[in-house]
Amino acid sequence: MSLSSTLPSKVKLVDVGPRDGLQNEKQMVPAAVKIELVQRLQQAGLKEIEVTSFVSPKWVPQMADAAEVMAGITRQPGVRYSVLTPNLKGFEAALATRPDEIVVFGAASEAFSQRNINCSIAESIERFRPVVEAARANGIYVRSAISCAVGCPYEGEIAPERVEMVARLMKGIGVQHCGVADTIGVGTPIKVQRALDAALRHFAIDDISGHFHDTYGQALANTLASLQMGVWQFDTSVAGLGGCPYAKGATGNVSTEDVVYLLHGLGIETGIDLDRLVDAGQYVSDFLGRKPNSRVATALLNKRQSAG
């Protein structure tokens, strides 16, 4: 089977580094650094950025500056800025900052849902109904993300039927987009295709995205398998922000750099300048006092060093 005729010609990446990435970093990052990171990402050509989360600072201190960050970014035409809004209070705070999109989360694992938010999957999604209604009434696009869509740290493997159910419930409350997230990075290509197939029962291919973690190094293989289904939107995290593979309990978002290299190698347009992206990743990695968690960034930075 030759790939060249079957892949999408363009792909849109959503950089989730400033939110999903930094939220999982222990070290507190000042608003000014987050704002500069967003700036560098859009200068590198990212057309959508998950900026922050309007969540209780008691639970997530790293996101306590959500409003400050949203107010501080210089918006570029053609770039979309999304934020997480776990409840109506969060949504109201977010609304004042004029996000283009909000994101709501539901797990495909009952055990995960119970342990994390102390309610069933169905209840957790029903709670988003007023948030989704308020967003849509305000003309704000609503994305959902299905976490643990392939595996769960408590339940193990997740059946595609669970993903289908979450997608159906999300569609039912008025959500417009469905992200399929392998939150713990255990997925391999066929399992990921099955999870995406399940979501496709309720969302069109243009309203689906993949969100992969590189914990087991499978994220690019999973991306390739998704592309072969026609999926053309992916969440990625600059410098692999959101967990170092050498730290216990690492989450390991796939790095934007690695995905861009794959896509460009496949002849797929992203609008992203890989060199500037590597710079953006180096900027935030320098702040965190470590190397970018990206093989492409590592290889290109080594190459620059040898050349220089």
| Stretch 272-291 residues interacting with its own copies (CB under 8 A) | 291
DSSP letters for 143-189: EEEEETSSEETTTEE--HHHHHHHHHHHHHTT--EEEEEETTS---H
Structure tokens at 76: 């570029």
Q: For residue 155, state whether it binds its own copies (rule: CB under 8 A).
A: no
CB 292 within 8 A of CB 255: yes
Least distance from its own copies to the Cβ atom of residue 12, Å: 19
Considering the complex, state which of residue 127 and residue 276 has its C-beta at the smaller distance from its own copies.
Answer: 276
Considering the complex, state which of residue 189 and residue 271 has its C-beta at the smaller distance from its own copies.
Answer: 189
CB 40 within 8 A of CB 71: no
Structure tokens at 260: 């861009």
The catalytic residue among 119, 148, 152, 244 is 244
- Strand 208-212 vs strand 177-182: parallel, antiparallel, or unpaired? parallel
Collapse the DSSP code of 141 into the 3-class scheme (helix H, G, I; strand E, B; otherwise coil) and give the result: strand
Binding-residue pattern over the window 185 to 214 for its own copies, x denoting contact by CB under 8 A: x-xxxxx-x---x----------------x
Least distance from its own copies to the Cβ atom of residue 247, Å: 5
Among 215, 253, 256, 270, binds its own copies (CB under 8 A): 215
**Dihedrals φ, ψ of 108, to 5°?**
-90, 10
Residue 147 CB-density burial (10 A; 0-12 exposed, 13-18 middle, 19+ buried): buried
Least distance from its own copies to the Cβ atom of residue 251, Å: 6
Q: Does residue 178 have an active-site annotation?
A: no
Q: For residue 249, state whether it binds its own copies (rule: CB under 8 A).
A: yes
Q: For residue 43, state whether it binds its own copies (rule: CB under 8 A).
A: no
Q: Note the residues at the interface with its own copies (CB under 8 A).
A: 1-4, 6, 185, 187-191, 193, 197, 214-218, 220-221, 223-225, 228-229, 245-252, 255, 258, 261-262, 264-267, 291, 294-296, 298-299, 302-303, 305-306
